[in-house]
A and B are shown apart, each in its own frame.
Chain A
Amino acid sequence: AQSVTQLDSHVSVSEGTPVLLRCNYSSSYSPSLFWYVQHPNKGLQLLLKYTSAATLVKGINGFEAEFKKSETSFHLTKPSAHMSDAAEYFCVVRSDTGRRALTFGSGTRLQVQP
């Protein structure tokens, strides 16, 4: 079985400070991991994905995530937050076998204060 836990439902940072959104996963097999972002009244947009290549993955808009197998984590980071980063972020997992579709975390709402 596969699952994903986003450890914080809300994160608030000041503009220009680092962002850390935490995600832990559970998977019986080698997982593929994703981060998606959802701006208000919009669909979900793929930020980045890990599919067993480099453990440090770079995505769009300056975001990156590091796959740590020993910690079963895939935390999302950005060195300097921008106001436009305010959105909901979803960590997503898919195992190589078993369930076909992606499993989504419950989401982390990122607020960016001026």
Chain B
Amino acid sequence: ETGVTQTPRHLVMGMTNKKSLKCEQHLGHNAMYWYKQSAKKPLELMFVYSLEERVENNSVPSRFSPECPNSSHLFLHLHTLQPEDSALYLCASSQDLGRENYGYTFGSGTRLTVV
């Protein structure tokens, strides 16, 4: 384990469902990120949080709603998704926003399938 835990590992949901992805880190990091990894496409940054405050929203549709209740937890709430939203969703953390130079620690991801 890397220190960043994502649950569930796999999720299948219908287009009318509401579900949430969870990310948890106890590394003492202050910045957390959601990335989307689709087949044959580069990783797409979705959201950036620093000290529980959203500092970047990368033109993500409103059917994805992030929540960061504290610096250790990050959620991605999903509703009325489309089949093209099927992907691997990766959570990452870093020491601080200004310290991405140290690299990120990634979770293992949630494999989402929208049917």
Contact = CB atoms under 8 A, between A and B. Distances in A.
Chain B: number of interface residues, binned into ranges: 20 to 34
A90 B43 contact: yes
Contacts of B48: 100-101
Contacts of B45: 101-103
A104 B42 contact: yes
B55 interface: yes
Interface string A90-103: 10001000001111
A32 B100 contact: yes
Interface string B40-69: 111101001000000110000000000000
Interface of A: 32, 34, 36, 41-46, 49, 51, 90, 94, 100-107
B104 to A, nearest CB: 7
Interface of B: 2, 4, 6, 33, 35, 40-43, 45, 48, 55-56, 90, 92, 97, 100-109, 111
Nearest to B58: A101
Contact of B100 (A36, A41, A42, A100): A100
A47 B28 CA distance: 21
Given A32-B101, A43-B90, A106-B42, 7 more contacts: A42-B108, A43-B106, A44-B92, A49-B102, A101-B45, A102-B100, A104-B43
A105 B43 CA distance: 8
B21 to A, nearest CB: 13
Contacts of B109: 42-43
B108 A102 contact: no
A99 to B, nearest CB: 8
Interface-centre pick from B4, B42, B90 (highest chain A CB count, 10 A):
B42
B43 A49 contact: no
6 contacts: A32-B101, A43-B6, A43-B106, A43-B109, A49-B102, A104-B42
